[in-house]
């Protein structure tokens, strides 16, 4: 039953990718991530470093490539799949940070954003800020959508949703373009200092 649901979900992923191309300027792949370049809608967001994202500003909306995530969960244990996903996500963010000034499609974006169920293990060490989703109907929609996704893709998804429903609260993740560049530039310089 779960395998059938997963196959159906992958079909939906293809439809989602097709529709996304009509509501965004572009969609690019970076390892385990998809980055959708689009204009920010809704209320303004003030980042911790003072940068503001206003309605109409260009942002990179980050999505995990669930086909790759599913492939990991089918080949290794849930814990190893989580660690591998986190490592691949950090590598994708490094790639994105390197292209922020060189890729014409990314130069104009002001921040990277995303929606998650507050999975600290995956986003740890990247520098994302957590902002509440203010719209009640959006918060409910994302909660249902992402909990169902967790049930379908994660080997222990059903148990996690049943036992940790109150903890699975969707939040918006944001990191300004400048903060992302500085975070990975600093790490690169530290590595060069250590190996010199």
165-194: per-residue pLDDT in tens? Answer: 566 788 899 999 999 988 887 554 554 444
Rg (CA), the chain: 17
pLDDT tens sequence across 46-81: 999 999 999 999 999 999 888 888 888 778 777 787
CB count in 10 Å sphere of residue 123:
20
* Structural domain boundaries enclosing 88: 2-195
Phi/psi region, residue 124 (left: phi>0; alpha: psi -120 to 50; beta: rest), is beta
Q: How many domains does the chain have?
A: 1
- pTM: predicted TM-score of the whole model, two decimal places: 0.80
Residue 47 near residue 174, CB atoms below 8 Å: yes
28-64 as b/e: b if 16+ CB within 10 A: bebbbbbbbbbebeeeebebeeebebeeebbbbbbbb
């Amino acid at each position: 039953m779960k395998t059938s649901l997963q196959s159906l979900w992958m079909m939906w992923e293809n439809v989602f990718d097709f529709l996304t191309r009509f509501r965004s300027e572009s969609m690019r792949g970076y390892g385990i991530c998809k980055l959708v370049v689009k204009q920010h809608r809704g209320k303004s967001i003030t980042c911790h470093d003072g940068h503001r994202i206003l309605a109409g500003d260009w942002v990179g909306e980050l999505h995990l490539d669930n086909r790759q995530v599913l492939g990991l969960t089918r080949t290794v244990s849930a814990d190893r799949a989580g660690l591998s996903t986190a490592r691949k996500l950090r590598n994708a963010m490094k790639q994105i940070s390197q292209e922020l000034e060189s890729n014409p499609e990314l130069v104009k974006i002001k921040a990277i954003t995303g929606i998650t169920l507050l999975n600290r293990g995956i986003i740890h060490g990247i520098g994302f800020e957590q902002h509440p989703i203010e719209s009640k109907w959006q918060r409910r929609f994302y909660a249902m959508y992402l909990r169902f996704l967790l049930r379908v893709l994660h080997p222990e998804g059903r148990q996690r949703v049943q036992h940790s429903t109150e903890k699975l609260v969707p939040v918006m993740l944001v990191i300004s373009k400048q903060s992302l560049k500085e975070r990975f530039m600093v790490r690169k310089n530290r590595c060069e200092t250590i190996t010199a």
